[in-house]
């Protein structure tokens, strides 16, 4: 996978560094600008794929910087700011910004917006994942083994997808719940247990036993 | 001004006229003028006095009538001294000057208070933007070093954020009309945003949210709408019962408007209190049961809905459920 290069223009050191860590963990190449007088030259030189731009910067504010960048580049610009009046939003968008997110930002939303701007599709385009001779078809939403097939509900599919992505590792319940919440399924711990139980029943119908192991006090593992 | 009031004001003058004429008629009587002639004089005098007084009364009444009408036609009553005709009599001039000075000093006072108020509001807004920087820092730190403790810290910061947001929106309440952008927004997206804003807090509260039947989109301002939905959801969790909290959010197209239902399985609201929950500072029996109610959340919602043209009402069965309904008007001329 070709890593996208993101430039962070933010004057708060801690936020800059943490944002960098976050984006590096998410699989991007990240550059930070420390000397703000050189911003323009730097961007000209490196031509990044995306710019995260803070509005309150020393010297020149983000809006002006944005319109300067727009004179020579069409790189997507995502504004990050503490101000959230409609005027700010309008200004950001009319000056050539592509999107606008307010502090304190919600991290999944931030990542989703970045993804959207980089026009990266859904995580991967493979439709089936196989593990221990069980196939998970993400598009059809089914589990199959030995020629037999069974349908999953939306929630069950997401759970299975997450487990298939973390094969061999123990997935804690809270991680699983959080993942589901990030994917528009808002369930609690108990409902998760119910869903896992249903998946196990379905697996049993396929003739598979003990595919999902419960690690007491830790979580699930496949 | 009634004639009797006028007479009352002028009773001293009348008394002096009467006693004067009585004195003179006694004098004239002793000088040998006959009674019939004196009565004639009395009648003449009475006619003169009543005509003069009535004339004055008419004049004054006209003037007062004019002033009252001028006042009535004014939107800002304190501008009366600028609008009214110049005073004619000396005494009126003095009153006029008095009124003018008093109003002037009042407007000065008001504008001073207004200036302070604006300054204070600006300060609050500024402060809120500044406090957001360290909060963002905390959030990122927690996200990058996720552990059990960090999750709890995120929960707490989410709560702090809620409260800060509330301050900001309260400060801005007076100027909603200057700060909104009406466009077509998807209710689902709005609800999702609210849920993910409070993700940790909601997960920690072990709440289940059903959002499958939200499909409509409405014309509104997403920022304010998110704030309203947020307040409602937080309330649902605050007033949950012993049962595991479940929130059901759905939307329905009602032909002329779209309604968003937010139903919880919480403790509900007593029938006697349902109509008062939108009042500022209303706490109610639920709030007094140690649930840290401030009586501000729903008041803000109500005010915002009023300004955004959204209908809001509550249905509840005590001990069973509470549903908050938001009605978004549909307007044909928006579908160009």
The answer to whether residue B213 scores a pLDDT higher than 70 is yes
Using CA atoms, how far residue B274 sits from A3, B12, B25, B210, B300, in Å, is 56, 62, 79, 25, 16
**Residue A93 or A20, more confident:** A20
Q: Is the Cβ of B307 closer than 8 Å to some Cβ of chain A?
A: no
CB pairs under 8 A between A and B: 94
CA distance A203 to A201: 5
∠ CA(B165), CA(B170), CA(B171), 5° rounding?
100
Residues 6+ apart with CB under 8 A from A207: A145, A146, A148
Pairing status of strand B183-186 against strand A50-54: unpaired
Report the candidate in B129, B190, B148, B121 with the shortest Cα–Cα distance to residue A104: B129
Is the CB of residue A193 less than 8 Å from the CB of residue A148? Answer: no
B204-211 mean pLDDT: 87
* Residue A107, pLDDT score: 80
What pLDDT digit, counting tens, does each position of A162-185 carry? 888 888 888 888 888 888 888 888
CA distance A100 to A77: 9
For the CA atoms of A204, A205, A206, A207, the dihedral, rounded to the nearest 10 degrees, stands at 50
Q: Which CATH class is domain A5-117?
A: alpha beta
Report the candidate in B288, B141, B168 with the shortest Cα–Cα distance to residue B224: B168
Q: How deeply is B259 buried, as exposed, middle or buried, from its count of CB atoms within 10 A (0-12, 13-18, 19+)? A: middle
Domains parsed from chain B with CATH numbers: 3-104 (no CATH), 183-334 (3.30.565.10)
Cis amide prior to A104 (ω within 30 degrees): yes
State whether B140 and A19 contact (CB < 8 Å): yes
DSSP structural state of residue A171: B
Residue of chain B whose Cα is closest to the Cα of A54: B133
* Residue A123, pLDDT score: 47
Q: Is the Cβ of B336 closer than 8 Å to some Cβ of chain A?
A: no
Percent of chain B with pLDDT over 90: 15
* Residue B108, pLDDT score: 93
CB atoms within 10 A of CB A39: 21
State whether A104 and B136 contact (CB < 8 Å): yes
Percent of chain A with pLDDT over 90: 0
* Residue B236, pLDDT score: 87
What pLDDT digit, counting tens, does each position of B219-266 carry? 888 888 988 999 899 888 888 888 888 899 988 888 888 899 999 888
Q: Which residues in chain A are closer than 8 Å to B129, comparing Cβ atoms?
A: 82-83
Q: Distance from B245 to chain A by nearest Cα, in Å? A: 9
* Residue A122, pLDDT score: 42
List strand residue ranges (DSSP E) for B96-253, in order: 183-186, 208-210, 217-220, 246-253
Residues 6+ apart with CB under 8 A from B208: A186, A187, A188, A191, B244, B245, B246, B247
Average pLDDT, chain B: 86
Is the CB of residue B211 less than 8 Å from the CB of residue B251? Answer: no
**Residue A209 or B138, more confident:** B138
* Residue B296, pLDDT score: 83
Is the CB of residue A209 less than 8 Å from the CB of residue B227? Answer: no
* Residue B110, pLDDT score: 93
Question: B248 pairs with which residues across the strands?
Answer: B210, B263
Counting DSSP H helices and E strands in chain B, the numbers are 11, 7
What pLDDT digit, counting tens, does each position of A113-168 carry? 888 888 754 445 567 788 888 888 888 888 888 878 888 888 888 888 888 888 88
**Region of poorest pLDDT, from A3-12, B9-18, B28-37, B169-178:** B169-178
Q: Which CATH class is domain A128-221?
A: mainly alpha
A69-82 mean pLDDT: 83
Average pLDDT, chain A: 82
State whether A18 and B137 contact (CB < 8 Å): yes
Q: Distance from B282 to chain A by nearest Cα, in Å? A: 29
Domain residues of chain A, as ranges? 5-117, 128-221
Q: Which residues in chain B are closer than 8 Å to A187, comparing Cβ atoms?
A: 208-209
């Amino acid at each position: 996978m070709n890593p996208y290069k993101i430039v962070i223009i933010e004057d708060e050191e801690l936020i800059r560094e943490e944002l960098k860590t976050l984006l590096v963990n998410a699989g991007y190449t990240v550059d930070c600008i420390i000397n703000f007088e050189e911003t323009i030259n730097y961007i000209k030189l490196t031509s990044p794929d995306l710019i995260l731009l803070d509005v309150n910067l020393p010297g020149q504010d983000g809006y002006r910087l944005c319109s300067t960048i727009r004179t020579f580049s069409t790189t997507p610009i995502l504004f990050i700011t503490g101000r959230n009046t409609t005027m700010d939003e309008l200004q950001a968008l009319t000056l050539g910004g592509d999107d606008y997110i307010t502090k304190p930002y919600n991290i999944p939303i931030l990542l989703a917006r970045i993804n959207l701007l980089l026009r990266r599709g859904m995580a991967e385009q493979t439709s089936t994942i196989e593990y221990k001779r069980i196939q998970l078809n993400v598009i059809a939403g089914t589990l199959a083994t030995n020629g037999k097939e069974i349908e999953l509900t939306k929630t069950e599919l997401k759970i299975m997808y997450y487990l298939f992505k973390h094969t061999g590792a123990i997935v804690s319940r809270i991680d699983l719940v959080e993942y589901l919440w990030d994917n528009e399924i808002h369930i609690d711990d108990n409902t998760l247990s119910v869903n896992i139980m249903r998946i196990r029943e379905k697996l049993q119908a396929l003739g598979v036993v003990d595919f999902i192991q419960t690690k007491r006090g830790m979580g699930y593992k496949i | 001004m009634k004639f009797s009031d006028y007479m009352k004001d002028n009773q001293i003058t009348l008394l002096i006229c009467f006693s004067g004429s009585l004195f003179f008629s006694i004098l004239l009587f002793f000088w040998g003028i006959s009674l019939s002639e004196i009565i004639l004089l009395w009648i003449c005098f009475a006619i003169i006095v009543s005509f003069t007084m009535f004339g004055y009364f008419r004049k004054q009444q006209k003037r007062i009538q004019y002033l009252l009408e001028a006042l009535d036609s004014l939107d800002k009553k304190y501008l009366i001294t600028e609008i009214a005709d110049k005073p004619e009599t000396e005494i009126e001039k003095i009153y006029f000057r008095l009124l003018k000075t008093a109003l002037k000093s009042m407007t000065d006072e008001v504008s001073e208070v207004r200036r302070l108020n604006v300054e204070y509001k600006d300060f609050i807004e500024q402060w809120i933007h500044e406090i957001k920087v360290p909060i963002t820092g905390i959030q990122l730190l927690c996200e990058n070093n996720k552990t059990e403790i960090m999750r709890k810290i995120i929960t707490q910061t989410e709560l702090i954020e809620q409260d800060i947001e509330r301050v900001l929106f309260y400060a801005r309440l007076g100027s909603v009309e200057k700060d909104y952008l009406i466009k077509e927004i998807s209710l689902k997206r709005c609800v999702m945003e609210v849920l993910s804003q409070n993700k940790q807090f909601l997960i920690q509260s072990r709440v289940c949210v059903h959002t499958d039947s939200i499909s409509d989109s409405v014309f509104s301002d997403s920022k304010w709408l998110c704030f309203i939905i947020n307040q409602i959801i937080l309330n649902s969790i605050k007033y949950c019962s012993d049962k595991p909290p479940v929130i059901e959010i759905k939307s329905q197209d009602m032909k002329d408007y779209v309604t968003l239902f937010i139903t919880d399985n919480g403790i509900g609201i007593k029938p006697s209190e349902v109509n008062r929950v939108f009042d500022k500072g209303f706490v109610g029996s639920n709030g007094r049961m140690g649930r840290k109610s401030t009586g501000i959340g729903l008041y803000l919602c109500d005010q915002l809905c009023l300004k955004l043209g959204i209908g809001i009402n509550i249905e509840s069965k005590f001990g069973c459920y509470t549903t908050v309904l938001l009605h978004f008007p549909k307007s044909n001329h928006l579908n160009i």
